[in-house]
């Protein structure tokens, strides 16, 4: 073609291993190991089996991390998920108590969640000029409001037939079922975001929505799917939360959205969109869970644990900025 | 008194890893308009920032009216009477014109801002420049041209002796540019010295008496505008010979490939019909705001429209979104590379392959090796100046970014119709020639090409046929033989006071 200068452009990636180790995910692995060592020093009960035993009640939140990471990659946010967990858990209990077999009740729980997510997605796609923060703040109130109306004055409902719920809380050896489900989901979400067209579209939209649209990416479809997935996984979390706590009440899932966002951001997935990797989110989720379990074992005040995790999060977000400005200063 | 109001000697500016300026010199005479030209990345912008005190050079001396000065920051340069007007006005859109003009040097009495007096003063400056808006207007409601005028008024209000205009005409239409020329003439008559940066040769011929050329961070030479030929100047800027800037090939047209009929969107355009044959380059010109881009974006499904039909190879197409347009082979190269053309933070390779990801999918996964090697091929085909396919798009110059946009279009091998929106805007002359070359080759291969452009020379140089738009309507159609600037302008302004698309 035109005026060829014979210039060649390299298409060989740099040394991959070196890049991996010095990436944010590499640092997270180091932090993860440090947390394990620290907890082990603090608590004699901090053994593999004990940690696994305590894990299920924390693992439900990781279900929210996966689709939340996608939504953040899109440069959007969803703060209604805690309410979706509450509404779907409540609906699940009521459906089950109405005599519906557990299998069907479980599926309906997930569908309620997915429907809530689809509502968020639909509003966002139809009114792209509205910020997702405000829309999901609205639905956060609406979804929890509906759950509170349904729950009535008691404010709580327990499944009368616990058999099904007990079954999904089962274990294979020391590993609870939910652990396997989390790992399988993590792998699928990671592969989709890193290797598939849907994942590439997420990053494209998060980096520059208009260019993505001009390039033929189906922006609305991608956003709608992400929010519906978010709802579906909130439903899954609702189901497993019921199995762990034997009830759904008006405070079920409160604050879950912030935990999911914190895990993702700590994992390097920026709220501005287009950045970060699923792997980082998953590692950071396990860092936070293992730290919570360890500090819980030495009977640390649970509010204090929250303070520590909050400080850790701020440090994690600041770290790249601090090192960045140091580098700039040196160059100047 | 020295012969020069401003003189710079042996200026060297080093950024980490690069010498942005290498022993550069420059002399500005009192009351002259001095053009500064060179390709993107030649060091013009850095040089301007040295003059305005934004950057401090590692080596070199600056003399103002023969006295040696040292600028510690932009404030020093301002105080010395140097003002710069940038291509994209850096103003406060929510404030009034008055507030923008008097920003940082408000008229105060006992600490109170004197609004009435300031408004009156501002209006006085605007009147001097023949502005058609009031000093109390909100900045954000003005056009780019009007905002630029405010910036110039601001320079005048600080009693600047040296005014620097950085690509002021890049975003202006032909008659807005003409207005700017008159303002520059006026400033010159008042004894202000002007440094003028532009990629447009018309600007230089119209305004400047002398021209200084930079290339690869170095000073190449200073010439009298009357005494240097266009070809010589281009050779100095590019460092090689460009025999023909508009390499228009002779192409035998095929059948009609693409036709739009009676495209209408209330408030934007009305009854626009355009047809293109295979191998034909059709221009779509008119003043900025005439509705050219809007029509083509509607055709490609980016925005909606009220009425209109699209025919491709005689078959009517339904295009609801850009995905449909891409699938049909109608490819738009958008005007704004940074906002709609490329993802600036991404590597070049991924940018190029974004519309064609389906090609690399095996069992649901993207084959990245295959993706990279195709991207490499496409980027080399358009001769992109880059080291690897991983280089972020933001690291390239405007011209090379445009080549990446072209590569991204070429990646779509079902392409039949190419719509290029201002393909050489902000592109230096070397890259321009290459883009025209590619355009010619595409025509030879039998694609139908539509070029939206405000630049007369490229419309006249490259097009087989031209549609002229004004206020949302096609007001004229000219074959190549009848292409002339006066005629095009006549059509472009014909009905500006008459019927509008909104009517």
The arithmetic mean of pLDDT across residues A185-206, rounded, is 96
Cβ-contact B187, B11 below 8 angstroms:
no
Q: How far is A260 from chain B (nearest CA, A)?
A: 26
Place of tokens 């308009």: B33
Strand B465-470 and strand B473-479: pairing?
antiparallel
Distance, CA of A259 to CA of A59 (rounded, Å): 12
Distance, CA of A235 to CA of A244 (rounded, Å): 14
DSSP A181-249: HHHHHHHHHHHHHHHSHHHHHHHHHHH-HHHHHHTT--HHHHHHHHHHHHHHHHHHHHHHHHHHHS-EE
pLDDT of residue B88: 67
Strand B365-366 and strand B218-224: pairing?
unpaired
Using CB atoms, which residue from B302, B361, B384 is nearest to A197?
Answer: B361
Distance, CA of A162 to CA of A275 (rounded, Å): 42
Query: Which tokens is B181 given?
Result: 């020329």
Best mutation target, A3, A8, A9, A206, to test chain B (most B CBs within 10 A): A9
Tell me the CA distances in angstroms from B218 to A229, B43, B230, B384, one per residue in order: 57, 8, 20, 23
Query: Which tokens is A311 given?
Result: 């400080």
Compute and round to an integer the Cα radius of gyration of chain A. 22
CB contact under 8 A, B358 and A7: no
CB contact under 8 A, B365 and A196: yes
pLDDT of residue A15: 67
The arithmetic mean of pLDDT across residues A305-321, rounded, is 81
A3 confidence band (pLDDT: 50, 70, 90): very low
Locate all alpha helices (DSSP H) within A22-131, ordered by sequence.
Answer: 24-42, 48-54, 56-73, 81-97, 102-126
pLDDT of residue A331: 42
Best mutation target, A190, A206, A215, A220, to test chain B (most B CBs within 10 A): A215
Measured from the Cβ of residue A170, the count of other Cβ atoms closer than 10 Å reads 10
Distance, CA of B399 to CA of B403 (rounded, Å): 6
Distance, CA of B115 to CA of A77 (rounded, Å): 44
CB contact under 8 A, B355 and A195: no
Cβ-contact B162, B132 below 8 angstroms:
no
Best mutation target, B343, B360, B421, to test chain A (most A CBs within 10 A): B343
Q: Is the pLDDT of residue A18 over 80?
A: no
- What's the order of all strands across the beta sheet hosting B193-197? B67-69, B59-64, B6-15, B18-28, B218-224, B210-215, B33-37, B193-197, B162-166, B82-85
Q: How large is the angle between the packed helices A256-266 and A56-73, nearest 10 degrees?
A: 70
Q: What number of C-beta contacts closer than 8 Å exist between A and B?
A: 109
Distance, CA of A126 to CA of A109 (rounded, Å): 26
What's the pTM?
0.80
Within 8 A of B383 by CB-CB distance, chain A residues are 1-5, 7
Q: Which of B109, B182, B181, B191 is nearest to B156 (CA)?
A: B191
Best mutation target, B374, B379, B380, B442, to test chain A (most A CBs within 10 A): B380
Distance of CA B230 to the CA centre of its chain: 20
Kindly provide the b/e burial profile for residues A246-282, where b requires at least 16 CB atoms within 10 angstroms of the residue's own CB.
eebbeebbeebbebbbbbbbbbbbbbebbbbbbbbbb
Query: For residue A3, what is the nearest residue in chain B, using CA coordinates?
Result: B434
Within 8 A of A14 by CB-CB distance, chain B residues are 390
Cβ-contact B417, B257 below 8 angstroms:
yes
Strand B193-197 and strand B33-37: pairing?
parallel
CB neighbour list of residue B112: distance below 8 Å, 6 or more residues apart: none
B482: phi > 0 → left, psi -120 to 50 → alpha, else beta; which? alpha
Distance, CA of B197 to CA of B211 (rounded, Å): 10
Cβ-contact B191, B30 below 8 angstroms:
yes
Using CB atoms, which residue from A2, A4, A216 is nearest to B323?
Answer: A216
Within 8 A of B437 by CB-CB distance, chain A residues are 2-3
Compute and round to an integer the Cα radius of gyration of chain B. 24
Beta bridge partners of B64: B6, B67
Within 8 A of A12 by CB-CB distance, chain B residues are 388
Cβ-contact B13, B372 below 8 angstroms:
no
Within 8 A of B382 by CB-CB distance, chain A residues are 1-2
Distance, CA of A212 to CA of B323 (rounded, Å): 10
Residue B182 has phi, psi (to 5 degrees) of -65, -40
Distance, CA of A232 to CA of A225 (rounded, Å): 10
Query: Which tokens is B52 given?
Result: 């305005």
CB contact under 8 A, A195 and B366: yes
Query: For residue B370, what is the nearest residue in chain A, using CA coordinates?
Result: A11
Cβ-contact A185, A123 below 8 angstroms:
no
Cβ-contact A155, A249 below 8 angstroms:
yes
Distance, CA of A59 to CA of B454 (rounded, Å): 60
Using CB atoms, which residue from B354, B357, B372 is nearest to A11?
Answer: B372
CB contact under 8 A, B346 and A191: no
Cβ-contact A227, A120 below 8 angstroms:
yes
Within 8 A of A8 by CB-CB distance, chain B residues are 380
Number of residues that make up chain B: 503
Q: Is residue B34 classed as helix, strand or coil in its secondary structure? A: strand
CB contact under 8 A, B354 and A13: no
Distance, CA of A60 to CA of A82 (rounded, Å): 11
Query: For residue B355, what is the nearest residue in chain A, using CA coordinates?
Result: A215
CB contact under 8 A, A9 and B332: no
Distance of CA A10 to the CA centre of its chain: 37
Tell me the CA distances in angstroms from B204 to A75, A198, B33, B209, B216, one per residue in order: 44, 49, 9, 8, 21
- Chain A residue set in contact with B, beta carbons under 8 Å: 1-5, 7-14, 191, 195-197, 200, 204, 207-208, 210-218, 274, 331
Distance, CA of A182 to CA of A187 (rounded, Å): 9
pLDDT of residue B396: 86
**DSSP secondary-structure letter at B226?**
G
Measured from the Cβ of residue B194, the count of other Cβ atoms closer than 10 Å reads 23
Measured from the Cβ of residue B385, the count of other Cβ atoms closer than 10 Å reads 17
Architecture of domain A54-318: Orthogonal Bundle (1.10)
Residue A69 has phi, psi (to 5 degrees) of -60, -40
Place of tokens 């380059």: B281
CB contact under 8 A, A11 and B438: no
Q: Which of A5-19, A89-103, B327-341, B356-370 has the lowest mean pLDDT?
A: A5-19
Within 8 A of B434 by CB-CB distance, chain A residues are 2-3
Beta bridge partners of B468: B285, B476
DSSP B58-98: SEEEEEETTEEE--SSHHHHHHTTEEEE-SS----TTSBHH
More confident residue, A15 or B496: A15
Within 8 A of B357 by CB-CB distance, chain A residues are 197, 200
Using CB atoms, which residue from A1, A196, A207 is nearest to B441?
Answer: A1
Distance, CA of B442 to CA of B279 (rounded, Å): 8
Distance, CA of B404 to CA of B341 (rounded, Å): 9
Measured from the Cβ of residue A7, the count of other Cβ atoms closer than 10 Å reads 12
Q: Is the pLDDT of residue A316 over 80?
A: no
Q: How far is B80 from chain A (nearest CA, A)?
A: 26
Distance, CA of B360 to CA of B349 (rounded, Å): 13
Tell me the CA distances in angstroms from B92 to A221, A284, B213, one per residue in order: 37, 42, 33
Residue B405 has phi, psi (to 5 degrees) of -60, -40
Q: How far is B350 from chain A (nearest CA, A)?
A: 9
**DSSP secondary-structure letter at B52?**
T
Please, what are the domains in chain B? 6-238 (3.40.50.300), 242-329+415-503 (3.40.50.300), 341-413 (no CATH)
CB contact under 8 A, B438 and A331: no
Q: How far is A81 from chain B (nearest CA, A)?
A: 29
Locate all alpha helices (DSSP H) within A152-176, ordered by sequence.
Answer: 163-168
pLDDT of residue B169: 78
Q: Give me the residues of chain B with pLDDT under 50, please.
A: 495-503
Query: Which tokens is B482 given?
Result: 């009848």
Q: Please report, rounded to a whole number, the percentage of residues in chain A having pLDDT higher than 70.
A: 92
pLDDT of residue A321: 62
What would the pLDDT profile of A251-301 be if each residue is shown by its tens digit?
899 989 999 999 999 998 988 899 899 999 999 999 999 998 999 888 888
CB contact under 8 A, B302 and A214: yes
Tell me the CA distances in angstroms from B25 to B58, B160, B239, one per residue in order: 14, 22, 19
Which range scores top for mean pLDDT: A77-86, A145-154, A174-183, B471-480?
A: A77-86
């Amino acid at each position: 073609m035109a005026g060829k200068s014979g210039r060649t452009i390299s298409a060989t990636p740099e040394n991959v291993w070196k890049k991996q180790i010095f990436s944010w995910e590499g640092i997270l692995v180091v932090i993860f190991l440090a947390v394990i060592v620290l907890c082990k020093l603090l608590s004699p009960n901090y053994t593999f089996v004990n940690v696994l035993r305590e894990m299920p009640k924390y693992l439900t939140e990781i279900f929210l991390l996966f689709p939340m990471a996608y939504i953040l990659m899109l440069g959007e946010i969803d703060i209604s998920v805690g309410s979706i967990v509450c509404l779907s858990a409540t609906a699940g209990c009521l459906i089950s108590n109405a005599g519906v077999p557990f299998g069907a009740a479980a599926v309906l729980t997930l569908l309620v969640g997915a429907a809530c997510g689809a509502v968020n997605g639909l509003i966002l796609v139809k009114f792209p000029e509205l910020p997702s923060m405000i829309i999901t703040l609205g639905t956060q109130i609406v979804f929890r409001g509906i759950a509170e109306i349904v729950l009535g004055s008691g404010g709580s409902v327990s499944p009368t037939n616990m058999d099904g719920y007990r079954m999904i809380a089962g274990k294979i050896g020391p590993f609870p079922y939910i652990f396997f489900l989390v790992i399988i989901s993590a792998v699928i979400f990671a592969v989709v975001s890193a290797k598939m067209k849907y994942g590439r579209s997420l990053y494209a939209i998060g980096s520059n929505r208009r260019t993505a649209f001009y390039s033929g990416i189906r922006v609305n479809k991608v956003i709608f799917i992400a929010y519906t997935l978010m709802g579906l996984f909130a439903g899954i979390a609702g189901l497993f939360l019921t199995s762990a706590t034997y009830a759904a009440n008006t405070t079920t899932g409160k604050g879950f959205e912030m935990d999911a966002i914190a895990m993702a951001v700590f994992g390097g997935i920026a709220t501005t969109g287009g950045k970060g990797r699923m792997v980082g989110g998953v590692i950071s989720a396990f860092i936070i869970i293992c730290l919570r379990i360890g500090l819980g074992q030495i009977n640390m005040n649970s509010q204090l644990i929250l303070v520590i995790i909050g400080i850790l999060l701020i440090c994690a977000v600041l770290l790249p900025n601090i090192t960045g400005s140091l580098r700039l200063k040196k160059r100047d | 008194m020295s012969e020069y109001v401003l003189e710079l000697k042996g200026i060297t500016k080093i950024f980490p890893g690069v010498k942005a300026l290498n022993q550069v010199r420059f002399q500005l005479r009192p009351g002259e308009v001095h053009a500064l030209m060179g390709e993107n990345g030649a060091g013009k912008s850095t040089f301007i920032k040295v003059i305005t005190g934004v950057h401090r050079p590692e080596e070199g001396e600056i003399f103002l009216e023969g006295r040696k000065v040292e600028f510690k920051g932009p404030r020093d340069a301002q105080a010395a009477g140097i003002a710069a007007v940038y291509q994209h006005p850096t103003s406060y859109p929510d404030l009034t014109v008055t507030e923008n003009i008097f920003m940082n040097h408000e008229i105060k009495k006992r600490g109170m801002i004197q609004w009435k007096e300031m408004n009156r003063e501002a209006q006085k400056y605007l009147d001097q420049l023949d502005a058609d808006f009031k000093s109390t207007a909100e900045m954000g409601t003005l056009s780019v041209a009007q905002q630029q005028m405010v910036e110039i008024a601001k320079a005048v209000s600080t009693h600047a002796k040296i005014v620097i205009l950085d690509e002021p005409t890049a975003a202006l239409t032909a008659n807005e540019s003409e207005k700017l020329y008159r303002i520059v003439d006026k400033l010159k008559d008042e004894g202000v010295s002007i440094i003028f940066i532009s990629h447009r040769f018309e600007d230089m011929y119209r305004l400047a008496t002398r021209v200084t050329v930079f290339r690869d961070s170095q000073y190449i030479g200073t010439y009298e505008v009357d005494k240097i030929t266009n070809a010589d100047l281009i050779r100095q800027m590019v460092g090689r010979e460009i025999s023909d800037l508009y390499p228009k090939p002779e192409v035998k047209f095929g059948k009609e490939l693409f036709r739009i009929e009676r495209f209408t969107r209330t408030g934007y355009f009305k009854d626009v019909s355009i047809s293109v044959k295979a191998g034909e380059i059709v221009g779509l010109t008119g003043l900025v705001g005439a509705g050219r881009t809007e029509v083509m974006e509607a055709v490609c499904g980016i925005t909606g429209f009220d009425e209109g039909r699209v025919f491709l190879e005689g078959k009517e197409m339904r295009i609801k979104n850009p995905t449909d347009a891409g699938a049909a082979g109608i490819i738009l190269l958008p005007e704004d590379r940074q906002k709609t053309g490329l993802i600036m933070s991404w590597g070049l390779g991924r940018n190029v392959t974004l519309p064609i990801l389906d090609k690399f999918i095996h069992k649901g996964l993207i084959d990245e090796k295959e993706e990279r090697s195709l991207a490499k091929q496409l980027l080399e085909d358009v001769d992109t100046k880059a080291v690897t396919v991983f280089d972020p798009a933001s690291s390239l110059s405007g011209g090379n970014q445009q080549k990446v946009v072209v590569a991204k279009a070429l990646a779509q091998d079902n392409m039949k119709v190419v719509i290029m929106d201002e393909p050489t805007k902000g592109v230096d002359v070397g890259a321009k020639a290459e883009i025209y070359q590619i355009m010619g080759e595409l025509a030879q291969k039998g694609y139908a090409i539509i070029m939206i452009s405000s630049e007369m020379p490229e419309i006249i140089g490259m097009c087989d046929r031209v549609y002229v738009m004004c206020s949302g309507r096609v007001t004229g159609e000219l074959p190549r033989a009848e292409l002339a600037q006066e005629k095009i302008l006549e059509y472009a302004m014909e009905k500006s006071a008459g019927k509008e698309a909104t009517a």
